[in-house]
Chains A and B, each alone.
Chain A
């Protein structure tokens, strides 16, 4: 009886071995087999979004299949790309944040390329003279608040960072972890710019005492905790100055006025620029170059505002009406010397984590 089991088991094993090796062969051959249609891969963060029409346009223009890998929050996605730089996960990386720019450039993983339309981009946004990474969009990170909530609770909305540590603002704010989220890091830098290297930890300590909530990413904070955008209980959130435009755009009823407002006064906003570049080791350099051209073209750039709710880098790209009316740009964003950021970023992050988590 037991002896009869043996051939059965063996057959099963052999069968699985064969079927599995065959399926692998298949999967290996299926990848290059539609070689007529090449695949171009863009690695990016979880907040990346593109409309269906432009996505198809993208594929049509390149005569290629477009694959997008969202690999976590901005910091996480970049780290994954760096960890895999010997065997790049994609052809293009979209979404290196200006605050992480030096880390990305130091990893020596991008190929210099000057795409078409780069001349339409404001010089102040171009931070890499070699164009290994080129600016694709930008936004001002600042506090957003729920107008209705403050009216209902008879409370004055915040106008400056200092307001958040007032006792009446207990438990009202949600921010992102700067170690994982790029608006989170931008906000941390805003506080450093505002309170100085000696004072910012004090401020955060007080924020903590005032029961600030910390999420890992922007999405969790905005779509998960913010009263104006979710069932959450936080009427103040760190987001973009263009977010109110999104609220108007996505509201089910026609709104003439945004339900949320932003705090831009008193240098409380921080400008964040996002970059894209071609990853070293790509097997499809020509295609990747074409893709970079398309990313900076008006067609793609005009899609950005309503998809990711930041401003296009291409200054000739027409802004949608709702953006013109409801999205704001900080007149004088908080400023920190990029070289200072580069030198101190890790230390600031470590100190922040030490105190806050």
Chain B
């Protein structure tokens, strides 16, 4: 009996799905672990007799300590503010049903999929030098940064809290109510403790995002506010202090890994409760107070999530107080006096091309990885998939700037010289998009009953035939969602691109950054115009994902 089992397992090790796992593994080795190891080597290399002086440059420097402190501080405050904004909204959305709720939910989610440079541009339009928002200018870059972070992460927080909270409404709190507890007491003793893991998980995630925020800090922070992430770029690109940049990358990697680990352990705890997702407890508002509450929340979400974007569109369409399309037209014109010497329109073309290629890479590797993890699930204990799953999530917890920096210092010479390759940027983008593809595919794949494929194999179908006839069609929707994710992420990627892009192939976010960092109404207007285009494309992509996504599957 035992021997028979052993034979079966041995046979299955060479199952095609196991071999398929090699593709993402090689992809990761070459384009993730190799660049990171390059950073490690660089930061500890004794280049030019600097030996370990970078330690002193970081820990002996008040400014560097300030940067590290500021990174934590702004992330903490941003997270807290986001929580304060999202909590009441989550309460209302998880409790009441009302007309237009779906629209409001989608509107509230759009900011999260927007590229950071677009968000920065929108806030500059809203409160910057030439404000569109009731003439309020905010001189303090710090306020702008915090506001932009709240805007950006509000939707993540809202999504996670609402999803969890709506499943909490009902039974338990009703039971407490029946037993005579006041609403306040129910909230404090029942709802809040149950909600705590979700709050922590959501906060941890938002903290990670703010911690590694790059585009927003670089554009809105001016020269006086810097985070570790922005400092890596400054040290490498401006001061050419590569060992220090590498060392900062190491610090950044360490912290984000720790935070990610914290996040996953929180989510595991939320998952343990596994509340039923029925939403039968939603009720329409009855009292005037409830109606006012809903109206207030809708208005708040509208102001927070939509107004900055409207300001962006308005700024792209007005010049000297008049409605005009001049900035859009200028995108297609090639003037020798422009920053690029090629029409910015080419940046759009490049971005689209890169996005398609990176979509293909991310999908191929993503499908393989998801199949492999499911294979581990089924054939071995879950320990294997618990091991591989987080590894495939690694790029999510590695800052894009670190990735880009690692790529340019390692992949620019033999054995692997891709510096001039047109594929370098798509590869970097695919790395960033890959975890999202896996996240989108895995639940769908896991939901396919094992019997289907077993029956098919029994009837003589080859593994490829099983994949084509069963898995692929059943995960088609998830596949489309993953593809759109990979596509929009590639379109908006900035941190890795600013390192890897070559001057002849700027992408849209790089073009926006270059426009924004130059004075003049024309540059400003073109930044707004091209940001508006990018915003519309990514928002459309997101609405499409919503369309394809099964109701409430994953956190984001």
Residues of A at under 8 Å CB distance from B?
2-3, 5-6, 9-10, 13, 16-17, 20, 23-24, 27-28, 41, 43, 46, 49-50, 52, 55, 67-72, 75-76, 79-80, 82-84, 86-87, 89-90, 103, 177, 179-180, 214-217, 219-220, 223-224, 230, 346, 349-350, 353-354, 357
The reply to whether A9 and B224 contact each other, CB–CB distance below 8 Å, is: no
Query: Are A67 and B504 interface neighbours, CB within 8 A?
Result: yes
Using A5-B473, A23-B353 as known contacts, say yes or no to A87 and B479 having CB atoms under 8 A apart: no
Interface centre among A179, A217, A223 (most CB of B within 10 A): A179
Return chain B residues, CB-CB under 8 Å to A68: 341
Name the A residues within 8 Å of B357 (CB-CB): 20, 24
Given contacts A6-B472, A216-B223, whether A16 and B240 have CB atoms under 8 Å apart is no
Q: A16-B356, A216-B517, A220-B518 are in contact. Are A70 and B341 (CB under 8 A)?
A: yes
Choose the segment among B171-179, B193-201, B413-421, B450-458 that binds chain A (4+ C-beta atoms closer than 8 Å).
B413-421
Closest 8 CB pairs of A and B: A224-B519, A69-B503, A6-B473, A87-B419, A354-B63, A5-B476, A223-B519, A79-B240
Provide a sorted-by-A list of 14 A–B residue pairs whose CB atoms are within 8 angstroms: A2-B476, A9-B472, A9-B480, A24-B353, A70-B503, A79-B238, A80-B503, A87-B419, A89-B504, A103-B240, A179-B234, A357-B63, A357-B223, A357-B224
Q: Which residues of A contact B238 (CB under 8 A)?
A: 75-76, 79, 179-180
Is the pair A219, B518 in contact by a Cβ cutoff of 8 Å?
Answer: yes
Q: Which of B9-17, B256-264, B332-340, B384-392 forms part of the interface with chain A?
A: B332-340
B-chain residues with CB within 8 Å of residue A177 when the two chains form the complex: 223
Say yes or no for B77: interface residue by CB 8 A criterion.
Answer: no
Pairwise interchain contact B420-A87, C-beta atoms closer than 8 A: yes
Query: Cβ of B241 < 8 Å from any Cβ of A?
Result: yes
A223 to B337, CA, bound (A): 15
Most buried by A among B336, B363, B413, B520: B336
CA distance A84 to B407 in the complex (A): 12
Q: Size of chain B's interface in residues, with CB distance under 8 A?
A: 48
B102 within 8 A of A: no
Query: Contact string, B357-369, partner A, CB cutoff 8 A, digits 1/0?
Result: 1011001000000
Contact residues in A for B236 (Cβ distance below 8 Å): 79, 83
Q: Which of B62, B339, B408 makes the CB contact (< 8 A) with A354?
A: B62
State whether B412 touches A346 (Cβ < 8 A): no
> Which residues in B have their C-beta under 8 angstroms from that of A9?
472, 476, 479-480
Q: Is the CB of A87 within 8 A of B412?
A: yes
Q: A20-B353, A76-B238, A357-B224 are in contact. Are A89 and B503 (CB under 8 A)?
A: yes
Total A-B residue contacts, Cβ distance less than 8 Å: 121
**9 extra interface residue pairs, beta carbon distance < 8 Å, beyond A13-B363, A68-B341:** A55-B336, A80-B237, A83-B408, A89-B503, A90-B503, A179-B239, A214-B223, A220-B517, A357-B223
If A5-B473, A86-B413, A219-B518 touch, does A357 touch B237 (CB 8 Å cutoff)?
no
B413 closest partner in A (C-beta): A86
Q: How far is B408's CA from A86's CA once the two chains are assembled, in angstroms?
A: 11
- Residues in chain B within 8 A of chain A (CB atoms): 57, 61-63, 223-224, 226, 234, 236-241, 336-337, 339-341, 353, 356-357, 359-360, 363, 408-409, 412-413, 417, 419-420, 422, 468, 472-474, 476-477, 479-480, 502-504, 517-520
Specify which chain A residues have a CB less than 8 angstroms from the CB of B237 in the assembled complex: 72, 76, 79-80
Q: Is the CB of B360 within 8 A of A16?
A: yes
Flag if A349 contacts B239 (CB, 8 Å). yes
Q: How far does the Cβ of A309 sit from chain B's closest Cβ, in whole Å?
A: 14
Q: Are B223 and A220 in contact (CB under 8 A)?
A: no
Query: Is the pair A71, B503 in contact by a Cβ cutoff of 8 Å?
Result: yes
CA distance A80 to B241 in the complex (A): 12
Q: Which residues from B are CB-within-8-Å of A89?
A: 502-504
Chain A residues whose CB sits within 8 angstroms of the CB of B520 once the complex forms: 223-224
Q: How far is the CA of A90 from the CA of B61 in the complex (A)?
A: 37
CB distance from A41 to the nearest CB of B (A): 8
Minimal Cβ-Cβ distance residue in B for A41 = B504
A17 — which chain B residues lie within 8 A by C-beta?
360
Asked if A67 meets B63 with Cβ closer than 8 Å, knowing A2-B474, A230-B519, the reply is: no
Q: CB-nearest residue of chain B relative to A83?
A: B408
Pick from A79, A86, A180, A357: contact of B417, CB below 8 A.
A86
Counting chain B CB atoms within 10 Å of each CB, which of A6, A71, A72 scores highest? A6
Cα distance A218–B354 when bound, in Å?
A: 33
Q: A103-B240, A215-B223 are in contact. Are A69 and B519 (CB under 8 A)?
A: no
Query: What chain B residues lie within 8 Å of A28 (beta carbons)?
Result: 422
Name A43's contact: one of B417, B474, B503 (CB within 8 Å). Answer: B503
Q: Which residues of B contact A72 (CB under 8 A)?
A: 237
Q: In the assembled complex, which residues on chain A have CB atoms less than 8 Å from the CB atom of B419?
A: 84, 86-87
User: Shortest beta-carbon distance, A46 to chain B, in Å?
Assistant: 7
* List of A residues within 8 angstroms of B341 by Cβ: 67-70
Name the residue in B62, B63, B422, B479 with the highest tally of chain A Cβ atoms < 10 Å from its Cβ. B63
Contact A6 B503 (CB under 8 A): no
Of all chain B residues, which has the CB nearest A2? B473
Complex Cα distance, B341 from A90, in Å, reads 14
A50 to B504, Cβ gap below 8 A? no
Instruction: Give chain B residues whose Cβ lies under 8 Å from the Cβ of A83.
Output: 236, 408-409, 412
Rounded to whole angstroms, the CA-CA distance of A220 and B339 in the bound complex is: 13
A69 near B504 with CB under 8 A, answer yes
Residues of B contacting A217 with CB < 8 Å? 517-518
Which one, A50, A230, A350, A357, contacts B336 given CB within 8 A? A50
Contacts of B420 in A (CB 8 A): 87
- In the assembled complex, the CB of B132 is this many whole angstroms from the nearest CB of chain A, namely 17
Interface pair B422/A219, CB less than 8 Å apart: no
B350 — nearest CB in chain A belongs to which residue?
A27
Q: How far is the CA of A69 from the CA of B342 in the complex (A)?
A: 9
Q: Residues of A contacting B340 with CB < 8 Å?
A: 70
